[in-house]
Structures are given as structure tokens and as C-alpha cells.
Amino acid sequence: MGISYYTASSLDGFLATEDHSLDWLFEQDFDPEGPMAYPSFIADAGAIVMGANTYQWIMDHQDEWSYEQPTWVFTHRELYIPDGASVWATDDEVEAVGKAAIQAADGRTVWLVGGGDLAGQFADAGLLDEIWVQFAPVTLGQGKPLMTRDLRLELIESAANRSFVCTRYKALSTRESSKD
């Protein structure tokens, strides 16, 4: 299935506030069983790739690691990893991690989560297949950006889920890779 960047964003293109808060997101009206919702997406995920800030946010807001999928966390710092969790801290190149995650996913989707720069690195490497964005009816004015690259996309699907506009795009190319 490939690698899919699945996330929520403010209308002005931010994933989180400058201090990594997602409070604005959880205040929104969203049907978890509605179109393009997280439960159906994660049910098809065979592996996860994420940034260290996302991993730390999850660890700070959950009592235990709740994912069964093998997970790679990009980091340059030491991370606490719960006993029994299939989590690996890595500073390897995205190409190597992407290939390992695709193999581990065994034909299912690899969920890329946590950060526009990390998603951009996968796009630069030609490993980003899809971007799923659930746009919330809020603006933040500043924060952590949805994407940090000039990327060409093709709309595959869109739907309304209560107050969210949900979109799914095929990643075509970054401007850098389209120059080749």
C-alpha cells in the first residue's frame, strides 16, 4: 500500500502550536466512525514511522504504548521505550527506514505521522505515496507546519466529517525531484 502521511491540520496549515499543543484539535466535532476517520485508517496500517516530538507527545498523553505495529521513531536523543513495545529509535536515512517499514507492513499501509519536515524528507526520497489531511475549522496563526516542501499533489478523495473537511491526495513529486 505504500507510505501515507495521515494528519489533522488547522485551516492555515499547522499541525500543532509552537509548543506542540493539540488542544485545539480535540475541541473539534469529529465522528470517529465517519468518512476518512482515524479508526479505519489505523486498522489498515502495518507499520508506523514518526518524529521524536510526536512520540514524546504520545508518551506524555497515554498511560501505555497503544500501537501493535512496528514503529520507527526518528530522533537524535535518547528515548524511553516501554517494555514490550515494538519501537525503535533511529537516526538512519529515511530511505533505509522507509524500506524497512514497507517490508514490515507486509502489504499494508505505513503510517507516517508527526511533522511536515519528516513528511517532506520522505517526499524528497520518493517514498511518500499519499497525504491524508483532516482540516479543522480553526486557525492558529503560527505553529508546526503541515508541510515544509513544495510538493505537487493530486486529489483522490474528499469528504465532510462533521466540522472537518477530509482530504486524501496522491503525492506526485517535490519541486526538487521534478527537476531531474
Instruction: For residue range 162-176, list pLDDT tens digits in order.
Output: 999 999 999 997 655
Instruction: For residue range 80-126, list pLDDT tens digits in order.
Output: 999 999 999 999 999 999 999 999 999 999 999 988 999 999 999 99
Residue spans of the domains in the chain: they are 14-178
Instruction: Report the percent of the chain where pLDDT is more than 90.
Output: 92
Distance between CA 22 and CA 42 in Å, rounded?
19
pLDDT for the residue numbered 178: 45
**pLDDT over threshold 80, residue 36:** yes
pLDDT for the residue numbered 179: 47
CATH of domain 14-178: 3.40.430.10
Distance between CA 55 and CA 37 in Å, rounded?
21
Instruction: For residue range 138-171, list pLDDT tens digits in order.
Output: 999 999 999 999 999 999 999 999 999 999 999 9
pLDDT for the residue numbered 133: 98
Return the HEC string of the chain.
CEEEEEEEEECCCEEECCCCCCHHHHCCCCCCCCCCCHHHHHHCEEEEEEEHHHHHHHHHHCCCCCCCCCEEEECCCCCCCCCCCCEEEECCCHHHHHHHHHHHHCCCEEEEECCHHHHHHHHHCCCCCEEEEEEECCCCCCCEECCCCCEEEEEEEEEEECCEEEEEEEEEEEHHHHCC
pLDDT for the residue numbered 174: 64
